[in-house]
C-alpha cells in the first residue's frame, strides 16, 4: 500500500504540472462545469414560478438546492476516460502504459482526482454565488448529512468503475463516438442531471432505479436534500454496493479479454 501511495503522489505531481500548462483548456472546463447546471437551474426555477411556485414536489428554492448540489456532486463523480479510450487503444498509446509496473487504471485515478481537487477551487465559489442569487432551501437531517459523504464516495467509485469498463469496449470497436453519445444521453437523463428523477414518467423512474446511473449522481443529492427516508437510504446503499461489485467484476473480465484483442504497436 505504501508503494502504491508513493506512485500516486508522483503521478499527482506530474498530472497537476501538465494540467496547469493548459490554462485555456482549464478555463473552458470551468465554464462547462458551471454553465450546464446553471442553465437547468434557471429553466426549472422559471417553470416553477410560471406554475405558481411548484413543479411536483419542488419549489423554485428546492430546484436551486437540487441543481447547486448536483453541480458539486456531478463534478466529484464524473470521469472523461470514456471519451479518450478509443484514441488511446486505436493509436497504441496504451502500449507504453502496459510497460509500467502498475496497472494503467492508476494513472487515470490520479488524473481524475487531481483535476477534481483543482477545479473545486472554482466549483465551490460558484456554488456560493449561485446560493446567494437563487436562495436554495436545504434543511437535511443530521443522519442524512453523515450518510451523504460515504454515498458520495461510493457514487464516485461506481461511476469511475462503470465508465472505465465501458471505455474498454474500444478493444473491439474502432470508433466509440456513437456509443459515447448514447451513454452520455443515458447518464444525462437517468442520473437526474436534466431534472429530478421524481419528475419523470414512471417507466423512466423505474429504469433510473434499476440501472446504476441514478446511484452515481442523484442519490447523494437526494440524501442531502432530505428526500430519502432512512429505510430508502439503506436500500440505496445496498444497490450502490451491489452495482459496484458488478462493475468491478465486469472491469476485471473486460480488461482481461480486451488485452487479448489488443494489437496496436504504440505511438
The confidence score (pLDDT) of residue 20 equals 59
pLDDT tens, residue order, the chain (267 aa): 666 666 656 666 666 656 655 556 666 666 777 788 888 888 988 888 888 778 888 999 999 999 999 999 999 998 888 877 777 877 777 888 888 778 888 888 888 888 888 788 888 888 999 999 898 988 889 999 999 999 999 999 999 999 999 989 888 887 777 888 889 899 999 999 999 999 999 999 999 999 999 999 999 999 999 999 999 999 999 999 999 999 999 999 999 998 888 876 554
How far apart are the C-alpha atoms of 102 and 67, rounded to whole Å? 38
Give CA–CA dist 209/213, Å, rounded.
8
pLDDT for 7 equals 60
pLDDT at 267: 47
* Domains of the chain by residue range: 2-261
pTM above 0.85, yes or no: yes
From CA 48, how far away is CA 66, in angstroms rounded? Answer: 13
Placement of cell 451513454 in the chain: 183
Angstrom distance (rounded) from CA 57 to CA 29: 32
Given a contact cutoff of 8 angstroms between Cβ atoms, the answer to whether 162 and 245 are in contact is no
Q: What's the confidence (pLDDT) of residue 164?
A: 93
CA dihedral 166, 67, 111, 158 (to 10 degrees): -40
Contact 236, 151 (CB under 8 A): yes
> Which distant-in-sequence residues (6+ apart) come within 8 Å of 74 by Cβ?
37, 191, 193, 217
Residue 86 is predicted with a pLDDT of 77
CB atoms within 10 A of CB 212: 22
Amino acid at each position: 500500500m505504501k508503494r502504491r501511495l508513493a506512485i500516486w503522489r508522483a503521478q499527482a505531481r506530474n498530472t497537476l504540472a501538465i494540467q496547469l500548462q493548459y490554462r485555456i483548456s482549464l478555463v473552458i472546463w470551468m465554464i462547462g462545469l458551471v454553465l450546464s447546471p446553471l442553465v437547468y437551474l434557471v429553466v426549472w426555477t422559471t417553470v416553477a414560478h410560471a406554475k405558481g411556485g411548484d413543479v411536483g414536489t419542488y419549489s423554485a428554492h428546492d430546484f436551486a438546492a437540487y441543481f447547486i448540489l448536483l453541480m458539486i456532486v456531478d463534478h466529484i463523480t464524473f470521469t472523461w476516460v470514456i471519451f479518450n479510450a478509443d484514441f488511446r487503444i486505436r493509436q497504441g498509446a496504451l502500449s507504453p502504459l502496459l510497460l509500467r509496473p502498475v496497472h494503467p487504471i492508476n494513472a487515470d485515478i490520479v488524473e481524475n482526482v487531481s483535476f477534481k481537487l483543482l477545479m473545486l477551487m472554482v466549483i465551490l465559489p460558484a456554488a456560493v454565488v449561485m446560493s446567494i442569487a437563487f436562495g436554495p432551501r436545504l434543511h437535511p437531517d443530521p443522519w442524512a448529512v453523515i450518510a451523504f459523504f460515504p454515498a458520495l464516495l461510493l457514487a464516485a467509485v461506481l461511476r469511475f468503475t462503470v465508465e472505465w469498463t465501458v471505455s474498454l469496449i474500444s478493444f473491439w470497436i474502432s470508433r466509440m463516438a456513437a456509443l459515447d453519445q448514447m451513454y452520455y444521453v443515458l447518464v444525462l437523463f437517468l442520473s437526474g442531471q436534466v431534472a429530478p428523477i421524481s419528475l419523470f414518467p414512471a417507466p423512466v423512474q423505474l429504469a433510473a432505479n434499476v440501472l446504476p446511473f441514478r446511484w452515481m449522481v442523484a442519490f447523494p443529492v437526494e440524501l442531502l436534500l432530505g428526500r430519502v427516508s432512512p429505510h430508502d437510504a439503506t436500500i440505496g446503499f445496498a444497490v450502490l454496493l451491489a452495482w459496484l461489485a458488478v462493475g468491478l467484476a465486469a472491469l476485471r473480465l473486460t480488461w482481461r479479454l480486451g488485452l487479448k484483442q489488443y494489437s496496436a504497436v504504440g505511438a
